Amino acid sequence: MTVSARRLWFAGFGAAAAWSFDLMAVVSVGSTHCLSPVVSPATHGTVWWVVAAITGAAWIVGVGSLLSTVRAWRAPGQDGAARRARFMAFGGVLLNALFLVGLFFSSVALLLAPLCY
């Protein structure tokens, strides 16, 4: 069974892209809200839910990328292309795990720290 190049690229860098997008979107939404002249408690709760939804979507993409990487890593085959795909998938497992840890710490900060100081 051959693994497509598109699947390998998603498997290798999906969690990194999800973490990067989450970081940029959360900072953008949070800072726009906090710098507005009128910050009401009602909109503060709404902004928190928007940020939580963005983080949840990043988790879905990151975990999907990790599962795709594990499937590509376990794909059968003994030819040169299969060994290269397995090598790239193994690197993707390590990279996805690292970025999911970063996403975890971003999520914990979202739960523990206020959006506006």
Structure tokens at 26: 């959360």
Domain ranges of the chain: 5-112
Question: 33-39 contacts: CB < 8 A, separation 24 or more?
Answer: 33/115, 33/116, 34/115, 34/116, 34/117, 39/116
Q: What gap in Å lies between CA 113 and CA 27, rounded to an integer?
A: 13
pTM above 0.85, yes or no: no
The confidence score (pLDDT) of residue 40 equals: 59
Tell me the pLDDT tens digit for each residue of 20-40: 999 999 888 877 777 766 655
pLDDT at 107 over 60: yes
pLDDT at 6 over 90: no
DSSP string for 4-24:
-HHHHHHHHHHHHHHHHHHHH
